[in-house]
Amino acid sequence: MNETLLIDHLGQKGDGVAKTANGPVFVPYALPGETVRVVRDGDRGQLVEIIAPAASRIAAICPLFTRCGGCAAQHMDEGLYKAWKRQQVVTTLQRAGVTVPVAELVDAHGAGRRRVTFHARREGPGMMVGFMAARSHDLVAVEACPVLAPGLAWAPAVAQLLANRLGGSNKPLDLQITASDAGLDVDIRGHGPAGDKLRLSLTEAAERLDLARLSMHGEIIVERRSPLQKMGKAMVAPAPGGFLQATTLGEETIAALVVAALPKAKRVADLFAGCGPFSFRLAGKAQVHAVESEKAAILALTRAAGATQGLKQITSETRDLFRRPLLEHELNAFDAVVLDPPRAGAEAQARRLAASKVASVVYVSCDVGSFARDAAILIAGGYALEGVTPIDQFRYSAHIELVGLFRRAGKR
């Protein structure tokens, strides 16, 4: 049954939210101030018609918008979009009781996303390749994506050809493709070990597609050129399928905020360091100890450090910081700590930091909720949260990142 609603505001995921006598109703792709007709199912409303559009509504840049689940906000004008993304940070921190100045949103989209994951599975006689549909496990075929960097222009075709080569297994696949100056770096997950015949086929495909590197489950099948990424003065070859910030500008923006926050630091611990995007930039002025659980990431970091001139000493350690956080006596050897944990945050490490004497902590987060939890721990331990900067490198999505700066009273 159709129902007419007035949209009041935007929710955290970008849905329009209507206030009703029975509670809020969330309507994807509706905007504040709009009168809409929906088919309601509990607290969800499927948009049927926009009776009165908002002035903030604009045309989407992609014909797959609302079908593909990758973007949530192509219909918002710039003002509404920026305000919505920043408000996610403000609201989440307020709900957690964390009071702090929140800067304006920093646009870090740059040339576009330099990495993308395609999903593939057999449908009928062939392999279907694409992105997940909005709020569904269905696949949407993608021939081009406007939020990708130019270096990924051929990524959909590459994913399709490789999926075709692997289709005989009838297994669902994930194909992660990263752009580098040397060409595309591809890691395939879901297939399982590759036998000699498949390795030969994939090696031939890599030649045909002129790939820099092709791997399966992190094991290199063929490396024709090293897929290097520039990180400060260093040129780093990330581990196959290893983590990178989504955009080149995003990495540069976050790293610049990290470095600027620690102008006088002499010895820094870079925790959850990955392959070193912050370590190499910090090492221009400070000694750095990089800690990361992934052995392949630390290996990439140490190799690049050994080949780079003009840096202060970088030491490294492979360590699971969730199970074995750095303890107080270890932390007290540093005058600053940088944290860049996964979405779950760094609760165990935050508790150790709260009990330490470290003067400054720079926390890079991809999840505002876990950041707010850990921020409360640090504040209770005597740190002051001086400011938070929200960063947008996932344009049109609900995803937001941030950098928070904590200092102990009287210390810089």
Instruction: Using alpha carbons, select from 120, 193, 106 the residue that is nearest to residue 401.
Output: 106
**At a CB cut-off of 8 Å and minimum separation 6, what does 22 contact?**
none
Active site residue 68: no
Neighbours of 283 (CB within 10 A): 24
**At a CB cut-off of 8 Å and minimum separation 6, what does 263 contact?**
285
Q: Per residue in 330-355, is it b (16+ CB within 10 Å) or e — as a string?
A: ebeebbbbbbbbeeebbebbbbbbbe
Task: Enumerate the H helices of 190-346 as residue ranges.
Answer: 196-209, 248-261, 279-282, 295-306, 328-331
Phi, psi at 102, each rounded to 5°? -110, 120
Query: How far is residue 63's CA from residue 296's CA, in Å, rounded to a whole number?
Result: 39
> Do the beta carbons of residue 100 and residue 404 sit within 8 Å?
yes
Neighbours of 100 (CB within 10 A): 20
Instruction: Using alpha carbons, select from 225, 241, 224, 301 the residue that is nearest to residue 115.
Output: 241
Query: How far is residue 224's CA from residue 183's CA, in Å, rounded to a whole number?
Result: 10
- Choice among 71, 145, 275, 366 that is catalytic: 366
3-state secondary structure of 327: coil
Extended strands (E) in 95-226? 106-107, 115-123, 126-132, 139-141, 173-180, 183-189, 213-216, 219-223
Active-site residues, by number, are 366
